[in-house]
Amino acid sequence: MQAPAPTGFPAPVQYKSPKGYEGLEERVPLRGLRRAIANQMVASHLYTVRTLSVDEADLTELVELRARLKAEAERQGVKLSYLPFIFKAIARALKKFPSLNSSMDEARQEIVLKKYYNIGMAVATDAGLVVPVLKDVDRKSVLELAAEVNELAEKARTGKLSPEDMSGSTFSVTNIGSIGALFSFPIINVPDAAILGVHSIQKRPVVMENDEIKVRHMMYLSLSFDHRLVDGAEAAMFCKEVIRLLQKPDLLLLEAI
């Protein structure tokens, strides 16, 4: 039976097999994780005013820093990716731009400004997209975050995430670059106010301040945000702050800036 359309929305388009091709179709029930993903995507589309802000970061210094720290991290049993640095930069930036760390309480028509920083990490699995959450990112070191990223990613791939592992996010990140994508328009993980897409790090020629052309490690950032909660100028300034921290990654190893 087809579910009724929400009040004020037209009924969903009813699918009908093309005549003569019925035997060449396979039908898979929409249920379980795939149904949950579909419902979350529909909710994001219907209940946010999704807007995109795009910028790019010169990650040359971060690439060099990770290369220097990678061996030491491995000696401590931790695989060090770029994500812990990105999460740390985001948590710092969210403190300066709190509207990005908010939610809309639709029932009470209130904006909820959160003083905790839990970052959802979108992970593609064979069963579908899941979003485990790293809690209290602002209180953890880069190495602690790296270990947690690896643990949650493994639990996601093996289907061992608990409901607690996937609840309580205040902001989300989707690492499209891990599969080679250049650019994306991420879907907000409601009830978060925003999600940041991070993309492939690619070597590109860049004109420096002294007009010298150098090869740098560049990455696009695409911030998708709910325009009801976040103004465009604040979204752009948030991205600039994340970029500032990623371009001077030594700052992320300090307790305060």
Q: What would the pLDDT profile of 220-234 be if each residue is shown by its tens digit? A: 999 999 999 999 999
Tokens of 204: 């590109």
Q: Which of 131, 119, 111 is nearest to 194 (CA)?
A: 119
Give CA separation, 108 vs 8, 45, 103, 113, 215, in Å: 20, 20, 12, 14, 52
Cα 50 versus chain centre, distance: 14
pLDDT band at residue 4 using 50, 70 and 90 as cut-offs: low
Q: Which of 198, 254, 226 is nearest to 56 (CA)?
A: 198
Catalytic residue among 45, 199, 217, 227: 227
pLDDT band at residue 257 using 50, 70 and 90 as cut-offs: very low
Domains parsed from the chain with CATH numbers = 50-252 (3.30.559.10)
Q: What is the value of pTM for the model shown? A: 0.86
pLDDT at 211 over 90: yes
Does the annotation mark 199 as catalytic?
no
Tokens of 215: 């090869």
Q: Average the pLDDT over 43-54 and give the result.
A: 86
Beta carbons within 8 Å of 139's beta carbon, 6+ residues apart: none
Give CA separation, 20 vs 16, 23, 25, 149, 175, in Å: 12, 8, 11, 49, 42
Q: For residue range 8-31, what is the model confidence (pLDDT) as tens digits?
A: 667 777 878 888 888 887 888 878
Quote the CA–CA distance of 240 and 222 in Å, as a whole number: 12
Q: How many CA atoms lie within 13 Å of 241's alpha carbon, on the beta-carbon side?
A: 20
Tell me the pLDDT of the chain averaged across its residues.
89
Q: What is the DSSP string of 3-35?
A: PPPPTTSPPPPPP-PPTT-GGG-------HHHH
